[in-house]
Amino acid sequence: MTHAIRVHATGGPEVLTWEEVQVPSPARGEVLLRQTAIGLNFIDVYHRTGLYPAPLPFVPGLEGAGVVEAIGEDVAEFQLGDRVAYANPPLGAYAERRVMPADRLVRIPDSITDRQAAAMMLQGMTAQYLLRRTYPVRAGDTVLIHAAAGGVGLLACQWAKHLGATIIGTVGSEDKAELARRHGCDHAILYKTEDFVAQVREITNGAGVPVVYDSVGRDTFLKSLDCLSPLGMMVSFGQSSGKVEPFDTGLLGAKGSLFLTRPSLMTYTAKRADLVAGAAELFEVVATGAVKVEINQTYPLSEAAKAHRDLEARRTTGSTLLLPS
Ligand SMILES: NC(=O)c1ccc[n+]([C@@H]2O[C@H](COP(=O)([O-])OP(=O)(O)OC[C@H]3O[C@@H](n4cnc5c(N)ncnc54)[C@H](OP(=O)(O)O)[C@@H]3O)[C@@H](O)[C@H]2O)c1
């Protein structure tokens, strides 16, 4: 037996209940992990509320780090005692122990701690594919990153800076603006009170930016289109403020033959080679110090509901961990 957070009915944070659960033995191609740290992500909220449906009851969570405790048949790549991390389905990260398909794991290098790995795998590999593959940032680009003090945001600001970009970031408070500035954000805009479209136009001398990385969704989507230069790329990769409303694709033409993509980490890491390459690049920028993982909140795993409340209330910055006892 082990302990885990389970969801029996979708709803508010109160549906996250701490229970004793059975852990299966690892089947063919799987390993059993004793988890040392679990990453909190906004997608966990979408599963909890039912916005992204999952079969009930389920253990939420897509990201963690831990030690291999048992190995199923046909697993050649990992050995007992290996330190590994993941940021993929299947759901089930909010647990002290769990089984995972071995082909979704990466080994954690000696230079990276378990806590760093659990805090950055999902948000950091997202920053990696957004900045290196979806719209490859070049030195000299000016880019707009929404929610710049958030989990993905802080990592993306630092990484884009490392690539030689000028970063415009939006944030919900002056404290967050200061935090974003300390992590590479050249221009922090308080988007609750300031008109970020006007500010972006001013900062870019009217030219607009070649790319917007928009994780906020409903509240920012249409205005983000107005920040783009002709042929610019709108990367709508999240919906922290709610789902983007349906819109007339003619707008993309009218606003300058814009490109629009709605990417997902799951697609970008579906092939094992891409997962391993993305993780390797992430580990490299963290190991060299170009990107720092800011673990700004930790909660006992049993208090996952409190972590969800804080995340949804915009009280968190950087990355957040849930810790098994
Ligand atoms: N597509 C992908 O592959 C992928 C991968 C990872 C994450 N994501 C998405 O990226 C987003 C960020 O994820 P994260 O885990 O790093 O979270 P996060 O950015 O740390 O937290 C969400 C932030 O969004 C901002 N926000 C704006 N309006 C909000 C509202 N109405 N309610 C709550 N927050 C609001 C808040 O920052 P301010 O107070 O500064 O506005 C808040 O701190 C999420 O939407 C997530 O689903 C997508």
- The pLDDT of residue 153: 98
- The pLDDT of residue 275: 98
CA of 311 to the centre of ligand 1 (A): 9
CA of 215 to the centre of ligand 1 (A): 6
What's the token pair of residue 7? 């969801």
Average pLDDT over residues 202-229: 98
Render 96-111 in DSSP notation, one character per residue: SEEEEEGGG-EEPPTT
> Does residue 250 share a domain with residue 150?
yes
pLDDT at 142 over 90: yes
- The pLDDT of residue 169: 98
Query: At 277, is the pLDDT very low, low, confident or very high (cuts 50, 70, 90)?
Result: very high
Strand partners, 21: 2
pLDDT at 172 over 90: yes
Place of tokens 């968190």: 316
Place of tokens 């500010």: 199
Q: Give, using CA atoms, the residue closest to atom 25 of ligand 1.
A: 147
CA distances from 208 to 188, 232, 248, 298 (A): 16, 9, 21, 38
- The pLDDT of residue 85: 98
> Does residue 254 share a domain with residue 145?
yes
Residue 115, SS3?
Answer: helix
pLDDT at 179 over 90: yes
pLDDT at 135 over 90: yes
pLDDT at 72 over 90: yes
Ligand 1 atom at shortest distance from the alpha carbon of 312: 33
pLDDT at 259 over 90: yes
% of the chain exceeding 90 in pLDDT = 99
The CA distance from 215 to 199, in Å, is 19
Tell me, what CATH number does 214's domain have?
3.40.50.720
> Does residue 13 share a domain with residue 115?
yes
* Residue in 152, 157, 260 to alter for ligand 1 test, most ligand atoms within 8 A of Cβ: 152
Residue 130 in any domain: the answer is no
Query: At 97, is the pLDDT very low, low, confident or very high (cuts 50, 70, 90)?
Result: very high
> Does residue 43 share a domain with residue 90?
yes
Average pLDDT over residues 147-162: 98
Residue 180 in any domain: the answer is yes
Q: Give the binding-site residues of ligand 1, using a 6 Å CB cut-off.
A: 41-43, 122-123, 126, 147, 149-153, 171-172, 176, 215-216, 219, 237-241, 263-265, 311-312, 314, 316
Ligand 1 atom at shortest distance from the alpha carbon of 130: 3
Residue 270 in any domain: the answer is yes
pLDDT at 1 over 90: no
> Does residue 116 share a domain with residue 94?
yes
Residue 316 in any domain: the answer is yes
Strands 63-71 and 2-6: unpaired
Average pLDDT over residues 70-81: 97
- The pLDDT of residue 298: 98
- The number of domains in the chain is 2
pLDDT at 325 over 90: no
CA of 68 to the centre of ligand 1 (A): 31
CA of 258 to the centre of ligand 1 (A): 23
Ligand 1 atom at shortest distance from the alpha carbon of 263: 1
Average pLDDT over residues 231-241: 97
> Does residue 161 share a domain with residue 143?
yes
pLDDT at 185 over 90: yes
Q: Which domain holds residue 99?
A: 2-121+266-323
- The pLDDT of residue 295: 98
- Tell me the pLDDT tens digit for each residue of 214-225: 999 999 999 999
Query: At 278, is the pLDDT very low, low, confident or very high (cuts 50, 70, 90)?
Result: very high
Residue 20 in any domain: the answer is yes
> Does residue 277 share a domain with residue 254?
no
> Does residue 179 share a domain with residue 83?
no
% of the chain exceeding 70 in pLDDT = 100
- The pLDDT of residue 252: 98
Place of tokens 């996250």: 16
The CA distance from 86 to 38, in Å, is 10
> Does residue 21 share a domain with residue 78?
yes
CA of 187 to the centre of ligand 1 (A): 19
What's the token pair of residue 2? 């082990």
> Does residue 107 share a domain with residue 11?
yes
Using the 3D structure, point to which of 239, 262, 285 is the last residue of a domain.
Answer: 262
The CA distance from 116 to 67, in Å, is 14
The CA distance from 146 to 139, in Å, is 20
Average pLDDT over residues 102-129: 98
CA of 149 to the centre of ligand 1 (A): 9
Residue 284 in any domain: the answer is yes
Average pLDDT over residues 253-258: 98
> Does residue 258 share a domain with residue 299?
no
Residue 132 in any domain: the answer is no
Using the 3D structure, point to which of 221, 241, 262 is the last residue of a domain.
Answer: 262
The CA distance from 89 to 60, in Å, is 10
> Does residue 256 share a domain with residue 181?
yes
Ligand 1 atom at shortest distance from the alpha carbon of 43: 47
Using the 3D structure, point to which of 262, 291, 312 is the last residue of a domain.
Answer: 262
Average pLDDT over residues 105-118: 98
Contact by Cβ (8 Å): 132, 285: no
Tell me, what CATH number does 295's domain have?
3.90.180.10
Residue 281 in any domain: the answer is yes
Residue 10, SS3?
Answer: coil
For the chain, report the end-to-end CA distance as a whole number of angstroms: 15
Average pLDDT over residues 288-305: 98
CA of 281 to the centre of ligand 1 (A): 23
